[in-house]
A and B are shown apart, each in its own frame.
Chain A
């Protein structure tokens, strides 16, 4: 008797859970679906008084116009160059530093690592004014280098890599050293191959974060041609006026690369974000 009641209650919870899951999923998918539905209409339909969930006339016009007008392709290219630059430089300098902090013995190692980790404490936002002044003095306003360089100091990446290297048994390194390999060689052909997963995870997360970064490019870029896609999308009002089909097409074009990256590397993306939040290595 009581088990029957329990079973019935259990089914009750399943129904509540299913309804909640479906409702939340629809709510969360809706903005993107609505943007998609808008982007496939002729411009007139978006300002019409009649309301329709789906386009009355389906057209790719908005996409053609978006790609033709403005600098959307240039912005996408800029984002790609900048995100790739940030990722490659961050990975290179962080792997080297993490390896030195983890495996090499030198005076002041712990002190230096402690100082580097201080960067966790200070929000990047607090450095905007002096960073802009420095970049201005170096003549790097509106350059790829100016956008990339301040983004490559990433204590989080060094911390995660160092934690990972710390866990690798010393035998691996000692065997390689015995064979006469120098530190660079050991890092490259012993530590990197074992670390593949975490390196990829951090690289993809760094790439996505750099692709999406808004604040620093917003400060350092003033010319339309040098804008990255997140920045450029805020300019589309000026470019298109109130053409909502085109605005939604531009938004979805800007969303596509990162959505694709996420779809392809879902596991690595989640793994990377968790590692970066300090919960899992």
Chain B
């Protein structure tokens, strides 16, 4: 979900030099850290290990039962519903990530170009990003109504978009692009403003215009930002749940049931916490694998450009 910002693990900060006596500051440090540490242990560390442990048990939502080893994972590997949900998730990512990255770049260039209308333009493009998910889904649902919806009025017809197996997932994807592109716009805008203006002036003196400027200056400077935006968006898209859950409840015919939705159903409607934890672990593995891939790509690009 775009509202929570997934980040790469930051590089450790360089050690500071000339440490004064550490014993005198140990107590104040503990005092300042204690509230965070308590919250961290209770709401992060313990649940993290519990997910791992639960995935090895046959547990319900309220009781922890027998240890069953890797049974849940065996089941998972042979569970078509799980693989369908993974396929739907990646399908959704495919439909959102590239448009979101490309549109974010285009919008940022437009905002940057129109000096006087800048704040307005940025506001119009960015505003949907700060709206609650259910505002987006309510409006999308109303616009996509079969008989009274404005989309059918414009394209002519009575198509029930969200109940149509072909169109349901693309419809949710389009709603998501509208809702979240503002964040990518920000990333690209920051990238654009870091490009020294005299590069453009020098190139313009050499007679470069329009697309040549973009290809020679803008794009090379923005490529690392585009990679970051792409990967952040990919991970955010893999976490999709609310949009599909609210708009289509996973239907029609499970064509929009994504991995987190499957995990939610397994845990909270079937009360199979053990199996749900195994799904969560598989989900974590996918996200970690992609984060690792990102780190490698960024490193490779940095080396190539050096």
Contact = CB atoms under 8 A, between A and B. Distances in A.
A10 to B, nearest CB: 6
A106 B35 contact: no
A276 B5 contact: yes
Given A28-B128, A248-B138, A127 B10 contact: no
B232 A277 contact: yes
Contacts of B39: 93, 149, 152-153
Contacts of A187: 32
Interface string A33-58: 01100100000001110010000000
A119 to B, nearest CB: 5
Nearest to A212: B132
B143 interface: yes
Contacts of A276: 5, 7
Interface string A259-281: 10111001001100110111110
Contact of B33 (A35, A97, A110, A162): A97
A150 B10 contact: no
Given A125-B241, A166-B13, A28 B246 contact: no
B115 interface: no
A65 interface: no
A107 B61 CA distance: 39
Given A9-B210, A25-B121, A106 B148 contact: no
A277 B30 contact: no
B77 interface: no
A216 B212 CA distance: 48
A229 B106 CA distance: 33
B48 A214 contact: no
B29 A106 contact: yes
A24 B110 CA distance: 10
A257 to B, nearest CB: 9
B131 A100 contact: no
B239 interface: yes
A162 to B, nearest CB: 7
Given A20-B110, A184-B28, A247 B22 contact: no
Looking at A114, A126, A133, A182, the one whose CB has the most chain B CB atoms below 10 A away is A126
Interface in A237-256: 244, 247-248, 250-252, 254-255
Interface in B18-69: 19-22, 25-26, 28-33, 35-37, 39-40, 42-44, 46-48, 50-51, 54, 61-62
B123 to A, nearest CB: 7
Contact of A25 (B32, B46, B125, B242): B125
Contacts of B302: none
Given A258-B132, A279-B187, A125 B283 contact: yes
Contacts of B25: 104-106, 183
Contact of B125 (A28, A211, A233): A28
A36 B235 CA distance: 33
A183 B5 CA distance: 31
A254 B135 contact: yes
Contacts of B113: 17, 21
Interface string A193-211: 0000000000000001101
Given A129-B54, A273-B186, A208 B209 contact: no
A112 B33 contact: yes
Interface in B187-214: 187, 190-191, 207, 209-210
Contacts of A134: 42-43, 46-47, 50
B190 A121 contact: no
A99 interface: yes
A29 to B, nearest CB: 5
A93 B36 contact: yes
Task: Indicate the member of A6, A117, A131, A277 with the most B CB atoms within 10 Å.
Answer: A277
A105 B281 CA distance: 36
B22 A234 contact: no
Contact of B4 (A124, A236, A279): A124
20 contacts: A17-B114, A24-B106, A25-B121, A34-B150, A100-B28, A106-B30, A107-B26, A128-B267, A129-B267, A129-B277, A130-B47, A131-B43, A134-B47, A136-B61, A159-B10, A166-B16, A229-B134, A234-B134, A244-B142, A273-B5
Q: A-B pairs with the 5 shortest C-beta distances?
A: A130-B50, A230-B132, A233-B134, A97-B36, A96-B32
Given A9-B210, A35-B139, A136-B61, 11 more contacts: A97-B37, A100-B32, A104-B29, A105-B20, A113-B12, A123-B239, A126-B284, A130-B50, A152-B43, A156-B7, A247-B138
Interface of A: 2, 6, 9-10, 12-13, 17-18, 20-21, 24-25, 28-29, 31-32, 34-35, 38, 46-48, 51, 92-94, 96-97, 99-102, 104-107, 109-110, 112-114, 116-134, 136, 149-150, 152-153, 155-156, 158-159, 162-163, 166, 182-184, 187, 208-209, 211-215, 218-219, 229-231, 233-234, 236, 244, 247-248, 250-252, 254-255, 258-259, 261-263, 266, 269-270, 273-274, 276-280
